Chains A and B, each alone.
Chain A
Amino acid sequence: MNRTLVIIRALIWKELRVEWRQRETLASVCVFGVLVVLLFDFGFSMSGEASLRLLPGVLWIAFAFSGILSFNRSFAAERQNACLDGLRLAPVDPGLIYLAKLAANLIFLSVAEIVIVFVAAIWYNFSFLPALPWFSVIVFLGTLGYVAVGVTFAAIAANTRMREVMLPVLQFPVVLPIFLAAIEATSSALKGDPSSEFRSWVHLLAAFGIIFVVLSFLLFEYVLEE
C-alpha cells in the first residue's frame, strides 16, 4: 500500500513537472475554454434571464472542449521520444499510471474550470457564491467521470491515424449521460433550488464517476500493451 502511494506520487509529480517545464497545456486549455465562452456570448448575446438559462450549458461545453484539448496533449507529449515506452518499461501496475494521468488531467482541467467560471461570472454578472458548495461538488463529480473516460480514450486514440478527430468521436457519445446529469444539476443548483431537487442527479454523477474510474483502472493494462 505504501509503495503504491509512493509510485502514484512519483508519477503525478512527473506529470506536473513536465507540465511546469513546458507550461503549454494549461495555458492553451485555459485560453481555449475562455474563447468558447466568448463565442457563445457573441453567438447568443446573452444577458439577463437568458444568461441564467444558458449558462450551465455554456460552462459544460467549455469544460468539455477544454478537456478534449488537455487529454490529447497529455498523450501527444508521451509519444515524443518514445516516452510512453519508457513508462511501459517501469515496473509498476499500469493501473497506477492511469491513476496518475487521471489526477494530473483532473488538476489541469480543474484549474481551467476555475478560470472559465471566473471569467463567466464577470461577463454575465453572475455570482456563483450562494450556490458555490453544491456547484463545486457537481463540477468535481462531472469532471471526474469525464476525465476518467477521456484519459483512457486519449491513450487509445493516440494509436490511430486521426487521433485528434478520433478522441471526441469516441468520447462524446460515452460521456453524454454525464453531461445530461451535470447540466441538469448545475442549472438547478444555480437557480438556488434546495439540494433535494437535484440530489438524484448528483448521485448519478457520482455513480458514473466511480464506474468509469474503476473500469478504466482495470482496462488500462490492455491499453498500454504494445
Chain B
Amino acid sequence: MTKNTSLTIHGIVTLAWLLVSLYLIFIFVPTDVNQGNVYRIMYIHVPSAWTAFVAYFILFLGSVRYLFKRSPAADELAWSAAEVGFVFCSCVLITGPLWAKPIWGIWWTWDPRLTLTFILWLLFVAYLLLRSFFVNPEQGAVLSAVVGVIGFVDVPVDYMAIRWWRTQHPQPVVFGGPNSYLPPSMKFTLFFTAGAFLCLFFYLLRHRLNYGRMRHELQQLRREAP
C-alpha cells in the first residue's frame, strides 16, 4: 500500500468516525437533567482537551528524541504536533466559554484550571513563534526542543491543578475519584468521540509531516541546483 492510499483510507475512516460521533452526540445520547442540551458541547470540549494534551506529549517526545538522536524526523514530529495541537487547544478555549456562559453565567473565570489550559495554549504559541524567529534553522531545532522539554513540566501541573486548588471547574467525570459519575451511554459517547478526535489529530499530523518532508526535499533540491 502506498503512503497516499494509506493516508486516504485514514481520511475516510476519520470522516466516518466523526459522522457517527455526530449522530451519537446529537441523537443517541440523552439530554442532561440539570444542564439541558447545552451540555452536549462537552463531547467537543473534553475530547479536544485530551487531544491537546496528547499533542503536547508528542511534542515533548519528539523534542527529547531530537536532543538524543538528532534525527530531523523527530524535530519535524515535534513541530507538527505543536501546530496541530495548537488548533485543538484553541478549540478547547473556544468551546469552554460557550459552555460556561449558560451554565456558570460567565464567559471566563480565572479559575486555576482554565488559567493553566490557557497557559498550555500560550506554550504552543510561544513554541511556534520561537520556531519562526530563528536565524539558523539547525540551531533553532535544538533550542526549540529544549523549550519543548521545559514547557512540558507545566503540563502535569495543568492536569493536577484541578486537585490542588479549589476550583469552579467540575471535577473530572472520568478517572475523577469516587464521587464522579457519568451514565454508561454518556461515557461511551465521550470515549467514542475522543477516539474520533484522536483519529482526526493523527490524520492532520500525517498531512503536516508530509508537508515537512516536501519542504525538506525542496531545500535539498535547491541546494543541489547549480
Contact = CB atoms under 8 A, between A and B. Distances in A.
Contact of A166 (B112, B133, B153, B157): B133
Contacts of B146: 152, 156, 219, 222-223
Contacts of B140: 159
Chain B contact residues (Cβ within 8 angstroms of A): what range? 20 to 34
Contacts of B143: 156, 159, 222-223
A181 to B, nearest CB: 10
Interface string A173-194: 1101100100000000000000
Contacts of B129: 166, 169
A118 B112 CA distance: 31
A211 B149 CA distance: 12
Interface stretch (B98-106, B118-126, B166-174): B118-126
Contacts of A172: 122
A225 to B, nearest CB: 6
Interface string A152-174: 11001001111000100110111
Contacts of B122: 172-173
A159 B116 contact: no
A173 B142 contact: no
Contacts of B134: 159-161
Chain A contact residues (Cβ within 8 angstroms of B): what range? 20 to 34
B42 interface: no
Q: Interface majority SS on B: helix, strand, loop or mixed?
A: helix
A180 to B, nearest CB: 7
A226 interface: yes
A32 interface: no
Contacts of A226: 139
Contacts of B151: 173-174
A212 B136 contact: no
A225 B125 CA distance: 24
Interface of A: 149, 152-153, 156, 159-162, 166, 169-170, 172-174, 176-177, 180, 204, 211-212, 215-216, 219, 222-223, 225-226
Interface of B: 67, 112, 115-116, 119, 122-123, 125-126, 129-130, 133-136, 139-140, 142-143, 145-147, 149-151, 153-154, 157, 164
23 contacts: A149-B150, A153-B150, A156-B147, A159-B134, A159-B139, A160-B130, A160-B135, A162-B133, A169-B126, A169-B129, A170-B126, A173-B126, A173-B154, A174-B151, A174-B154, A180-B115, A204-B164, A211-B153, A212-B153, A216-B150, A219-B149, A222-B67, A222-B145
